[in-house]
Structure 1
Amino acid sequence: MTRCRLCGSAALASVVDLGATPPCESFLAADQLDQPEPAYPLHLRVCTDCWLAQIPPLITPEETFKEYAYFSSYSTSWVEHARTFVADAVQRVGLGPDAFVVEVASNDGYLLKHVVDRGIRCLGIEPSVNVGAAARDAGVPTLTEFLSPDTGTAVRAEHGPADLVVANNVYAHIPDVVGFTQGLRALVADDGWVSIEVQHLLTLIEENQYDTIYHEHFQYYTVASATRALASGGLTLVDVELLPTHGGSIRLWARPAEVAGEPTQQVADVLAREKAAGLQELSGYTEFSDRVAKVRRDLLKFLIEAAERGETVVGYGAPGKGNTLLNHCGIRPDLLAYTVDRNPYKHGRFTPGTRIPILPPERIAADRPDYVLVLPWNLRAELVEQLSFVHEWGGRLVFPIPELSIVEVKR
């Protein structure tokens, strides 16, 4: 990667190099285990002109998202998060019975089903064929397509302009950030609203959340860099909310530049926090690589010592972020016998690169392991409750991020 994908600058500085890994959602079937498996460099850099953090676009969205393993509805807390967002957005934007809502990267309809339940007209735009089919089966109108300026224009011509366009956890997933933003502008009404949720680079750096760096995530935003990205498509940031999701996210509220007005004080406050953390100069990034290395050393030390004591460690969850962690640490089935996941799509498959079996969640209670390594650490509160049953045999939970934490759970 020689130039910034947002501003075109060649001034790119290294933040952390995680080596080479397979795409994080390329789970393997049993008959693929003896076949070659491609791996791609995973090297985060930051543009010192516009301060957009980014990785090279070595894989295309078409390779990742035409058939996708992630279904949002399998996370109870995420479905509740979506329900709360819809209720709040109805009030904030003033969505009445004649309103129209579009969600980009609408997954299996986890969010728009709440819009459908309110009798509000809506449309999902979801590129994954299998996930979009699940949304339609759930009663959510869904177009199987990637968002581009042409797609946005075509949807607007057929359905009319959207009063609200939602783009949650997708703004990092597209290498053509300018074209995608232009697509959002094409969708939204001239007096409408765009709501975007994306992980906050500030918390990624502060909390060592390096496992959220993977090939699906082409860029990593501060409010400052997101403001510049939105402007590239004719949108202006007017408000921001700080969210706990994914370890720390930002919800960006934007409007067409012509009607946006002045941003709220919250925008100024978050920009000031980012500046104080040094994220608009190289000093804010220089120690991150060392802290990433310590996470790796601590986790490997724990797993090796547990194995030498004859203790069993299994995983919980098979999220994309987990595969960055497993590959960076070089963890194989000798240290992590298997992991489990609530998503049946993943059962009987193996994690990319590390070839760890993925089994149904019931296996934990049957095997009664000494430790359960929780890979979706961002759902800590939800999973501590779900996994409280491991207390019955004295099992404990292990969280690797932001630092190694061993938790005794109680009912």
Structure 2
Amino acid sequence: MNCRLCGSTNLASVVDLGATPPCELFLSAEAVDEPEMTYPLHLKLCTECLLAQLPPLITPEETFTEYAYFSSYSDSWVRHAKDFVDAQVARIDPKFVVEVASNDGYLLQHVVAGGIRCLGIEPSVNVGEAARDKGVPTLTAFLSPETGQAVRDEHGPADLVVANNVYAHIPDVVGFTQGLRALVADDGWVSIEVQHLLTLIELNQYDTIYHEHFQYYTVASAQRALASGGLSLVDVELVPTHGGSIRLLAQPAESAPEPTRRVLDVLSREKAAGLHELTGYAEFAQRVAKVRRDLLRFLVDTVDEGRTVVGYGAPGKGNTLLNHCGIRPDLLQYTVDRNPYKHGRYTPGTRIPILPPEQIAVDKPDYVLVLPWNLRTELTAQLSYVGEWGGKLVFPIPHLEIVEVKP
């Protein structure tokens, strides 16, 4: 395995989660009795450029041509997108906005509402169609240097290029970054949101390690990645989404000013945590193992006592957790999800049924295991009715926590 950013062969193990199926390949009822492909899930760190990464065992085409994730099913995420759009309109007054991996139009719908010209670039046919249904112009394509140049030639350069939760999803870091540079105007801005490796390590967020995430960034490694495509990091914001993310604000290298104090401050925090060398990753695997043991102990004891546990949500991160822990329907009877696409399907690997959310009120389980723990505030409010029969919520990350809720 060579580092996909610098080409080094010096990669050290961070955590080995065994082998799992791709996390978004939910099974139809007919496929439950068929075999599944599994792939190693072993996070490694390049000792030269410090990019944390998985081997490129699957291609983006295998995951994103038909995709199960629709961003708009999270109310808080849609609000987050609107707040971002409002802030950027006030800051730079863009005349043309491009979003890469624009999903179902969750963000660009706010740009359209503001009367600003925009274009989404989304590889998944099904979610791209949902965006077009909302009136969001959407090109079905993967971003490459060639795609970026073609969009620029047809539509002109973008004042703002947005890439939320996609910079981890591409195996060709350099080519993708070159595509971003091709899209953006020479004095324009690129805004990238991606999970921060600092919070992933500090808060045991290992379930966000899955095959469609090819790499995991500190600000230090993100700076190097951006530079590989001709972009310079100008500013950074720490945002709470996905358990703790970084918003990277970059400009073309030839016109970018010096990094702000906030960039230097976050780099200092990362260095203090040991993440600019191998030492900061040394105990992560042991803490991951404890999360697994604690959750399994709770589930086994609860079921042995005759009480019931069901899940809430069927996110990709949940499938890493379920597979790593070896959780099957004998411990988690089913999970529910707001996305109708997943209803009647089964989680990959663990074969747990996915039902509509209304099933929880019908069955009145003793515990609800919340798999999208990053939406804790939103989901605690949504699931407050569980308290009507004395049910409790269970959060597995960063550590096992059982929460009483009031209806």
Match of 1:377 among 369, 373, 378: 373
| Matching residue's letter, 1:75 | S
Question: What stretches of structure 2 of length at least 5 have no aligned partner?
Answer: none
Query: Following superposition of structure 1 onto structure 2, how do residues 32-43 of structure 1 map, counting pairs within 5 Å?
Result: 32-43=31-42
Structure 1 residue aligned with 2:178, among 182, 195, 206?
182
Q: Within 2, Cα distance between the matches of 1:261 and 1:116? A: 30
Is 1:19 the counterpart of 2:18? The answer is: yes
Distance 2:331 2:143 in 1: 41
- Residue matched to 2:149: 153
User: What is the TM-score when the length of structure 2 is the normalising length?
Assistant: 1.00
Q: 2:393 aligns with which of 377, 393, 397?
A: 397
Distance 2:343 2:110 in 1: 28
Q: Partners in 2 of 1:132 and 1:309 — Cα distance? A: 46
Distance in 1 (CA, whole Å) between partners of 2:65 and 2:137 is 18
Task: Using the TM superposition, give the Cα deviation of residue 228 of structure 1 relative to its aligned residue in structure 2, in angstroms.
Answer: 0.2
Cα shift at 1:3: 1.1
Matched, 1:222 2:218: yes
3-state SS of 2:189 partner: strand
Q: Which moved more, 1:2-11 or 1:38-47?
A: 2-11
Q: Does 1:129 align with 2:114?
A: no
Amino acid at match of 2:28: A
Match of 2:79 in 1: 80
TM-score under structure 1 normalisation?
0.99
4+ residue segments displaced more than 6 Å: none
Name the CA distance, whole Å, in 2 between partners of 1:193 and 1:363. Answer: 45
Q: Which one-letter code corresponds to 1:23 in the other structure?
A: P
Shift of 1:94: 2.3
Question: Which whole-Å CA distance do the structure 1 matches of 2:148 and 2:70 have between them?
Answer: 24
Name the residue aligned to 1:280: 276
Structure 2: which amino acid aligns with 1:48? T
- 1:46 alignment partner AA: L
Provide the rounded CA distance (Å) in 2 between the counterparts of 1:62 and 1:262. 37
- Separation of aligned partners in 2, 1:80 and 1:120: 19
Report what 1:201 is aligned to.
197
CA distance in 1, matches of 2:2, 2:33: 37
Root-mean-square deviation over aligned CA pairs: 0.4
- Could you tell me which amino acid in structure 2 is paired with residue 72 of structure 1? S
In structure 1, how many angstroms separate the alpha carbons of the residues matched to 2:216 and 2:90?
30
Shift of 1:266: 0.2
2:65 counterpart of 1:69: no
What amino acid sits opposite 1:336 in the alignment?
Answer: L
Q: Work out which of the residue numbers 305, 308, 312 in structure 2 matches 1:309.
A: 305
Percent of aligned pairs with the same amino acid: 81
Offset of residue 10 of structure 1: 1.1
Letter in 2 for 1:36: P
Unpaired runs of at least 5, structure 1: none
Give the Cα–Cα distance (whole angstroms) in 2 for the partners of residues 348 and 35 of structure 1: 16
Distance 1:190 1:208 in 2: 39
Letter of the aligned partner of 2:24 in structure 1?
E
Alignment correspondent of 1:291: 287
* Corresponding residue SS for 1:299: helix
Q: How many residues are aligned here?
A: 407
Q: Give the drift of 1:11.
A: 1.1
- Does the residue aligned with 1:92 lie in a helix, a strand or coil? helix
- Measured in 2, the distance between the counterparts of 1:193 and 1:93 equals 9
Secondary structure of 1:33's match? helix
Deviation at 1:305, TM superposition (A): 0.3
- Secondary structure of the structure 2 residue equivalent to 1:373: strand
1:187-213 residue CA offsets vs partner (Å, 9 max, x unmatched): 000010000000000000000000000
Task: Provide Cα deviations, 1:235-281, integer angstroms capped at 9, x if missing partner.
Answer: 00000000100000000000001110111000000000000000011
- Partner Cα distance (2:49, 2:32) in 1: 42
Paired with 2:211 and 2:154, the residues of 1 have a C-alpha distance of 33
Q: How does 1:158-177 map to 2 (within 5 A)?
A: 158-177=154-173
1:92 and 1:323 map into 2 onto residues whose CA distance is 39
Amino acid of the structure 2 residue aligned with 1:81: H
Query: Which residue does 1:339 correspond to in 2?
Result: 335
Distance in 2 (CA, whole Å) between partners of 1:35 and 1:250 is: 40
What SS class does the counterpart of residue 64 from structure 1 fall into? Answer: helix
